[in-house]
DNA sequence: TGTACATCAGTGAACGCGCGTTCACTGATGTAC
DNA sequence: TGTACATCAGTGAACGCGCGTTCACTGATGTAC
């Protein structure tokens, strides 16, 4: 047990991190599809088979990168959210939205890895579920705070019983937030990732040039729609 | 010249179509990353080098598939739009949104090819620009009709001069549509593709089960936001 | 503290595979006179 | 209508490349007594 924290264990941890760092760089430079165990091994200065002492397969390495990416967006969103006063809902939303977009622009391949097309032949294991949820919890907490503070109004929605059940299940992570508010929040959410993807994947090319202004304008609009314009 | 429509030309057209058909099937089954000239050639019953008589490179084959995909969404949107009375703006929007989502669900790999992460190492040539724009023109026409009919109200927006210029340029394809309406339309647009991607790429997994009801609810919300709730 | 044994990291070769693209060629189909 | 030539489609072999994964192995590091 003590040995687990001995030299061998420390070297192992360092090398694991080094492999990940190289893999991260390859991902950033070439994208997930071009990520190869052999190339990573070469850059680490190992023979390719040695990597198998650290990661059981290419998929496992990919999983590690996916978890990292989800954690990074989550962290960015949490930090941004925490940078505003708790009762400044609009400010928190805008800060969070900008932080997520900022992270995406700074790390386009990592963004594409988790929010773009699924990697062919790769099935996300259970390990990615919690990290994936992290960023969404920031939004849900925003809704919780807004409802608790009484600044977020419910609205009537008409929909299926099945969707009511879905929303009730989601409410476990957003206690007290009524369906109408949840639906507005989800709408903002899909808009946000839609906007970022649309921009990042080139669909605004030759249409919009002032990307930042366009995003800010739309993010503010979205904030008003979710939070109510009386803020 | 007459010979161009002779046997050789007809066989050539047929074989080109057959190669495309096989490529389309491979794309649908395996995704763009796994699309290989050699595999396509095998399935067509040709030697791989023979495909080069029809497509100069793998990228050119991919371009053809991209153009097809853009045309298919465009067609679906146009058909849906045309299925409603011209003055039923909300109906047209909803039909169009559903048609685009329906096409995406029926053709997930083709959707991912054009609206997902860019294919690494592939640069979209000029040929894809017009087909790509086709689907967007349906929305813009909707806005034009709404403004012309007087049912779409402008709103004040505050933004940069650069974005004003962008919007003015976009207005060439939507004569008479003021900035406020354009911005609402673009918001709906990014929401739509965001929602579809979010759903299709698995981010609603274990969150929403009644996908259809969820989409319809949100699409209706979006319609009200763009068109005004007085419809 | 010293020794025998077990664990582990890393090597190097190999397996089996697939890819895009080029090139010299054969034979069939079209064109010009 | 018949013949000589040009065009074109498709073949088969090759180039040069990279990949994930396995396996028997060496040598170093740790563990137990």
Three-state DSSP at A144 gives helix
| pLDDT confidence of residue B92 | 98
| pLDDT confidence of residue A117 | 96
CB contact under 8 A, A163 and B207: no
Task: Give the A:B interface size as CB pairs under 8 Å.
Answer: 145
| pLDDT confidence of residue B2 | 38
Give the tens place of pLDDT for each residue, B30-72: 999 999 999 999 999 999 999 999 999 999 999 999 999 999 9
Probe site for chain A from B155, B189, B194, B195 (most A CB atoms < 10 A): B194
Contact assessment for residue B122 and residue B60, using Cβ atoms and an 8 Å cutoff? no
Nucleotide nearest to B58 in CA–C1' terms: C20
Quick one: average pLDDT of A191-207? 97
B60 CA, D18 C1': separation in Å?
22
Looking at the predicted structure, is the pLDDT value of residue A120 above 90?
no
Residues in Cβ contact with B58 at an 8 Å cutoff, skipping those fewer than 6 apart? B35, B36, B37
| pLDDT confidence of residue A79 | 98
| pLDDT confidence of residue B120 | 81
| pLDDT confidence of residue B222 | 98
| Dist. CA B230–CA B123, nearest whole Å | 44
Shortest alpha-carbon distance between residue B225 and chain A (Å):
9
Quick one: average pLDDT of B144-167? 96
| pLDDT confidence of residue A10 | 87
Does residue B195 belong to the interface with chain A, where contact is any CB pair within 8 Å?
Answer: yes
Residue B123 CB: number of other CB atoms within 10 A?
Answer: 8
Probe site for chain B from A165, A170, A191 (most B CB atoms < 10 A): A191
Looking at the predicted structure, is the pLDDT value of residue A119 above 90?
no
pLDDT-derived band at A6, boundaries 50, 70, 90: confident
| pLDDT confidence of residue B4 | 46
Instruction: Kindly report which amino acid residue has its CA closest to the C1' atom of nucleotide C28.
Output: B8
Looking at the predicted structure, is the pLDDT value of residue B74 above 70?
yes
pLDDT-derived band at B9, boundaries 50, 70, 90: confident
CB contact under 8 A, B115 and A203: yes
| pLDDT confidence of residue A162 | 98
Looking at the predicted structure, is the pLDDT value of residue A3 above 50?
no
Residues in Cβ contact with A89 at an 8 Å cutoff, skipping those fewer than 6 apart? A142, A145, A146, A149, A151, A152, A227, A231
Give the torsion through C-alpha atoms of A166, A170, A175, A179, to 10 deg: -50
Tracing tokens 């090319």 back to the chain, one arrives at: A205
Among A33, A118, A166, select the one facing B208 at the smallest CB separation. Answer: A166
Q: Which chain B residue is nearest to residue A187, measuring alpha carbons?
A: B218
CA B24, B29, B35, B36 dihedral sign is negative
CA B168, B170, B176, B178 dihedral sign is negative
| Dist. CA A55–CA A229, nearest whole Å | 51
| pLDDT confidence of residue B170 | 98
Looking at the predicted structure, is the pLDDT value of residue B1 above 70?
no
The answer to whether A197 CB is within 7 Å of strand C is no
Looking at the predicted structure, is the pLDDT value of residue A9 above 90?
no
Looking at the predicted structure, is the pLDDT value of residue A204 above 90?
yes
| pLDDT confidence of residue B123 | 85
């Amino acid at each position: 047990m003590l040995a687990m924290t001995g030299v061998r264990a420390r070297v192992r941890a360092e090398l694991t991190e080094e492999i990940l760092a190289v893999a991260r760089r390859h991902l950033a430079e070439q994208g997930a599809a071009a990520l190869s165990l052999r190339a990573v091994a070469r850059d680490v200065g190992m023979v390719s088979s040695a990597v198998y002492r650290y990661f059981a397969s290419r998929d496992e390495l990919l999983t590690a990168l996916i978890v990292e990416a989800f954690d990074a967006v989550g962290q960015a969103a949490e930090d941004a959210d925490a940078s505003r006063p708790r009762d400044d809902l609009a400010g928190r939303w805008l800060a969070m939205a900008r932080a997520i977009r900022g992270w995406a622009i700074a790390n386009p391949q990592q963004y594409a890895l988790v929010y773009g097309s699924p990697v062919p032949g790769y099935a996300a294991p259970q390990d990615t579920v919690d990290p994936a949820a992290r960023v969404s919890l920031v939004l849900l907490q925003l809704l919780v705070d807004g409802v608790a503070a009484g600044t977020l109004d419910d609205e009537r929605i008409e929909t299926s019983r099945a969707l009511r059940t879905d929303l009730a299940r989601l409410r476990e992570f957003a206690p007290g937030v009524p369906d109408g508010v949840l639906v507005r929040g989800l709408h903002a959410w899909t808009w946000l990732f839609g906007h970022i993807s649309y921009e990042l994947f080139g669909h605004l090319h030759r249409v919009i040039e002032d990307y930042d202004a366009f995003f800010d304008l739309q993010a503010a609009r979205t904030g008003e729609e979710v939070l109510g314009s009386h803020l």
